[in-house]
């Protein structure tokens, strides 16, 4: 029955789209699905498009494999050795929210616009979810399991292969699933913004947007969504079939003395990195990697200049927070409603799974044509990508309400509003907050992306301008600002999460 409802929901959506395109909207801007599907079939027979798809898919696969090979071993070391964890976590926490697309201007200067650039950027973007999940999962492995293995004099290699890795594997694969989507976004965004000779993003720009062929843009978007859906379904299937056990963790909170020790080590490590960077950069004098003091001087000139502050930084921050808040509100409201309505979810679930699999950079040309260049395009772009983690987590959280609470609420005949705000939302809150944090990272990526291609002001625009004027310290200053924004906003949201969910007792990192 669920399959029938999904097919009905899909058919209803296509019929609504067809009617709106032919009778309400401009068919040149929003072609009907019949034309888009025909274009999908013709694209499959175009050698150029097939070559572009192969290039994008191969670059994505190489980047994801490199990210796994880099992140998993480092994550195992960081998670197992407290001193290493304390020393490296500040750097990881700073780099993790930094969008890979923010490095596009810098990497293209260093490596050009070939495949090596998009692979490098996608690898950088994909490393952090895997590394963070691996280190966190390894650090949280049940102590009783480790102590039992030690009691039997298990070797370190055997401990790693038989206890630590299996316990952390489900969480590691979750990180790989997140990284797969992020790597695809980075590859397509790089192709779209700075092109090169081949790739789906470049195909959309040249043969779709520049040629005025919105049917081509939407057809490529549909095919890319199917590709993303296949990737996610495959990884989810592997996780269910081979890693169906829960990730164990029982390490508990660190003591106050241990937290102070970790803080001292973290500060010392950050200071050591900055001193080493300053010394090496000053000795080598490479213009592409200026010393931190030079970057700090340029940052002071740019960040606090009244024209930059009012014309670029504050508007970017406003667009970021505005788009993210819209996505958060819509995601929570729609997600909770669908989570408590199983039949409605059956009708739209397949459409939602497809929509979340579409790489957001491919939607940028659609929004540019529909809304023209400006703040509205930036906000819509942010909302279109940032809504899905919140919405899907809200659905999952609303469905997880304990049956006993449901029966008790019915027995006391509480009002619908009291039921939603007093039972459903508190039960769904942990998963909603997890979705909000991921959504914030995606919103930052899309803010930078939209400003690189679709606005005449903002942090992303100034980053691109710095590249054009060969202002390398300025380029680094804007990259650092984006990293600072991501770090600060993520920490603020984490503090709100911890205070709001103090009753939950979970671990948040």
Rounded to an integer, the average pLDDT of 183-211 is 81
CA-to-CA separations, 315 to 299, 320, 446, 455, 456, in angstroms, rounded:
18, 8, 14, 11, 11
pLDDT of residue 251: 47
Rounded to an integer, the average pLDDT of 413-441 is 83
**Is the pLDDT score of 508 beyond 60?**
no
Q: What is the DSSP letter of 246?
A: P
**Is the pLDDT score of 249 beyond 70?**
no
Rounded to an integer, the average pLDDT of 400-417 is 72
3-state secondary structure of 163: helix
pLDDT of residue 201: 87
Place of tokens 């992140």: 71
In the predicted model, what is the mean pLDDT of the chain? 84
Query: Which of 49-58, 415-424, 499-508 reaches the highest mean pLDDT?
Result: 49-58
**Is the pLDDT score of 259 beyond 90?**
no
Query: Which of 380-389, 401-410, 499-508 reaches the highest mean pLDDT?
Result: 380-389
Least confident among 170-184, 208-222, 344-358, 466-480:
208-222
Q: How far apart, in whole angstroms, are the C-alpha atoms of residue 331 and residue 153?
A: 50
Which of residues 340 and 328 earns the better pLDDT score?
328
- Report the alpha-carbon angle 190-230-166, nearest 5: 95
pLDDT of residue 211: 67
pLDDT in tens, 200-242: 888 888 877 776 788 888 999 899 888 888 888 888 888 777 7
In the chain, where the domains are located:
27-252, 256-289, 291-509
pLDDT of residue 454: 66
pLDDT of residue 242: 73
Q: How far apart, in whole angstroms, are the C-alpha atoms of residue 358 and residue 361?
A: 9
Query: Cα 277 from chain centroid?
Result: 29
pLDDT in tens, 9-31: 889 989 998 998 888 888 878 88
Determine contact, residues 486/95, Cβ cutoff 8 Å. no
Place of tokens 């950079």: 361
**Is the pLDDT score of 153 beyond 90?**
no
Confidence of residue 333 (pLDDT cuts 50, 70, 90): very high
Which of residues 500 and 122 earns the better pLDDT score?
122
Q: How far apart, in whole angstroms, are the C-alpha atoms of residue 22 and residue 179?
A: 39
pLDDT of residue 142: 67
Specify the CATH class of 27-252 in words. mainly alpha
pLDDT in tens, 126-144: 999 899 888 888 877 767 7
Specify the CATH class of 291-509 in words. mainly alpha
Which of residues 142 and 498 earns the better pLDDT score?
498
pLDDT of residue 250: 46
Which of residues 476 and 94 earns the better pLDDT score?
476
Confidence of residue 468 (pLDDT cuts 50, 70, 90): confident
Q: Mutual orientation of helices 364-371 and 425-454 as an angle, nearest 10°?
A: 70
Nearest to 375 by CA among 315, 330, 285, 429: 315
Predicted model pTM: 0.84
pLDDT of residue 423: 79
Place of tokens 């081949």: 198
Token duo for residue 461: 């625009």
Nearest to 361 by CA among 169, 228, 238, 251: 228
**HEC states along 361-420?**
HHHHHHHHHHHCCCHHHHHHHHHHHHHHHHHHHHHHHHHCCCHHHHHHHHHCCCCHHHHH
CA-to-CA separations, 252 to 118, 139, 278, 383, in angstroms, rounded:
40, 10, 38, 36
pLDDT of residue 295: 93
Is 27-252's fold the same as 291-509's? yes
- Report the alpha-carbon angle 357-358-361, nearest 5: 135
The sign of the CA dihedral 188, 434, 80, 249 is negative
pLDDT of residue 174: 85
Least confident among 47-61, 102-116, 217-231, 463-477:
102-116
Q: Mutual orientation of helices 292-303 and 472-500 as an angle, nearest 10°?
A: 80
Share of the chain above pLDDT 70, in %: 92
H/E stretch holding 115 reads: helix 115-139
């Amino acid at each position: 029955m669920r399959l029938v409802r999904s097919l009905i929901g899909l058919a209803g959506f296509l019929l609504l789209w067809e009617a709106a395109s032919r009778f309400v909207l401009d068919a040149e801007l929003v072609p009907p699905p019949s034309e888009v599907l025909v274009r999908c079939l013709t694209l499959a027979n175009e050698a150029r498009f097939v070559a572009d798809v192969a290039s994008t898919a191969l670059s994505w696969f190489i980047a994801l494999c490199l990210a796994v090979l880099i992140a998993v071993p480092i994550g195992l070391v960081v998670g197992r050795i407290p001193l290493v964890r304390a020393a490296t976590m500040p750097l990881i926490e700073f780099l993790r929210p930094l969008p890979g697309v923010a490095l596009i201007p810098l990497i293209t200067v260093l490596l050009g616009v070939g495949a090596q650039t998009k692979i490098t950027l996608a690898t950088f973007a994909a490393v952090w979810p895997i590394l963070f999940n691996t280190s966190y999962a390894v650090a949280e492995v049940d102590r009783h399991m480790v102590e039992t293995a030690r009691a039997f004099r298990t070797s370190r290699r055997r401990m790693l292969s038989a206890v630590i890795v299996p316990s952390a594997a489900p969480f590691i694969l979750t990180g790989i699933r997140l990284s797969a989507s992020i790597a695809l976004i980075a590859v397509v965004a790089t192709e779209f913004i700075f092109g090169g000779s081949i790739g789906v993003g470049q195909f959309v720009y040249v043969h779709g947007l520049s040629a005025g062929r919105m049917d081509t843009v939407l057809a490529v978007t549909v095919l890319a969504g199917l590709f993303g859906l296949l990737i996610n379904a495959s990884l989810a299937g592997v996780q269910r079939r081979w890693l169906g056990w829960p990730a164990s963790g029982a390490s508990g909170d660190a003591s106050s003395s241990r937290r102070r020790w970790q803080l001292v080590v973290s500060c010392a490590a950050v200071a050591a990195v900055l001193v080493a960077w300053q010394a090496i950069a000053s000795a080598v004098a490479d213009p592409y990697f200026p010393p931190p003091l030079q970057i700090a001087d340029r940052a002071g000139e740019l960040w606090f200049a009244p024209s930059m502050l009012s014309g670029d930084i504050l508007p970017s921050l406003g667009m970021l927070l505005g788009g993210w808040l819209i996505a958060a509100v819509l995601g929570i409201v729609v997600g909770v409603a669908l989570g408590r309505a199983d039949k409605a979810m059956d009708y739209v679930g397949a459409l939602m799974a497809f929509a979340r699999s579409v790489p957001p950079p491919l939607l940028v040309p659609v929004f540019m044509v529909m809304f023209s260049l400006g703040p509205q395009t930036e906000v819509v772009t942010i909302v279109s990508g940032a809504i899905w983690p919140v919405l899907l987590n809200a659905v999952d959280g609303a469905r997880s309400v304990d049956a006993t609470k449901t029966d008790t609420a019915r027995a006391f005949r509480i009002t619908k509003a009291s039921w939603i705000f007093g039972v459903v939302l508190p039960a769904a809150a942990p998963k909603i907050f997890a979705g909000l944090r991921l959504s914030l990272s995606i919103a930052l990526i899309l803010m930078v992306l939209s400003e690189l291609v679709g606005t005449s002001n903002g942090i992303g625009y100034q980053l691109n301008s710095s590249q054009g004027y060969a202002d390398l310290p300025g380029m680094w200053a804007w990259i650092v600002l984006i990293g600072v924004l991501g770090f600060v906003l993520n920490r603020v949201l984490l503090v709100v999460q911890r205070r709001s969910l103090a009753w939950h007792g979970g671990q948040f990192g």
